Structure 1
């Protein structure tokens, strides 16, 4: 298993080692000990989610209040998606920037996304299945969104705009600037303090 930090701090791409023979393939798509060595604390898994999406479906940009927030470990078990990590932490050196990773059923990569980061993906194939492990249960009152079509962010979906399919909730979400002015975004200080508290709990 290879773990590589993305250009956004506290987000990582995980590439498993695949072992194949005439029966098929085997790989470890999640290892708590390897992730713990990388991020400094154990990922306390409290919920697992799965979604199936038509080609062109965009889900996100979603995030939760910190603390507690919701760290995510995301992979695609069927088809392919382009997964986005967006830094929405006010005061972060990469605030307003994003990185992306193709998750598919060929390379079987995964992405770890720390609490306080924005997450979105677009389905590149029909029937793309995304599965993700999260560090807290869904709490509707603490969940927020940013419009994935925000021109300030300029996410590159690799598909023509007319092919994109968004929910009314995501279309109606505020822009990054509107979310910032409305006090919805987590701060860099609050999130790094929270990460430190999680790391301290491992001492």
Structure 2
């Protein structure tokens, strides 16, 4: 497994080692011991989530406020997505900046997102299945988010804005300024 730290402290792209032959393929999608050895981060996932969406569906940018902030390990089971995170940790060198990465079932990339980031993704293929693990359970009273089109972020979602499909909840999310002061680095 190749673990690459991004310029965002604690945000890692993981490329598993894939063993392929005429029967198909096998890979270890995650090893807590290997991840901790390589990064110094102890990951204890308590909930696994999966979604299936059509092209243009945008989910996010979501986060949970303390004390229920979540670290996430995300990957694509089928299709292609653009995954986007925003660093909300005051004092971080990448505070209020975003990181995006295209991920697919074919490339098998994963992204480890530490606590203190907003997270979202958009479906670029006709459909996609998305899987993620979190280290704290869903806490609806601490659920929060940032609008996908916040002008201070200027995120390129790779699709025409008018073709994006959002939930009513996501249409009503606040701004990046509303999220200020929620997390410390």
TM-score above 0.5 = yes
Task: Report the aligned-residue RMSD.
Answer: 1.3
Kindly tell me the number of residue pairs found equivalent between the two proteins: 185
Provide the residue aligned with 1:83 in structure 2.
83
1:66–1:115: 8 Å Cα contact kept in structure 2? no
Provide the residue aligned with 1:112 in structure 2.
112
Q: Could you give the per-residue CA deviations for residues 146-173 of structure 1, whole angstroms, max 9, x where no partner exists? A: 1011011111111111111111111111
2:68–2:139: 8 Å Cα contact kept in structure 1? no
Task: Give the whole-Å Cα distance in 2 for the aligned partners of 1:68 and 1:41.
Answer: 18
Structure having the higher strand fraction is 2
Task: Give the whole-Å Cα distance in 1 for the aligned partners of 2:74 and 2:179.
Answer: 25
Structure having the higher helix fraction is 1
Deviation at 1:7, TM superposition (A): 2.2
Q: Could you give the per-residue CA deviations for residues 76-113 of structure 1, whole angstroms, max 9, x where no partner exists? A: 00001111121112232211111112221111010000
Deviation at 1:42, TM superposition (A): 2.3
**Secondary structure, counterpart of 2:183 in structure 1:** coil
Alignment map for 1:1-203 (pairs within 5 Å)? 1-180=1-180, 185-188=182-185
1:86–1:97: 8 Å Cα contact kept in structure 2? yes
- Consecutive unaligned residues of structure 2, counting only runs of 5 or more, are none
**Secondary structure, counterpart of 1:122 in structure 2:** strand
Q: Could you give the per-residue CA deviations for residues 44-94 of structure 1, whole angstroms, max 9, x where no partner exists? A: 111000011111111111111233411100000000111112111223221
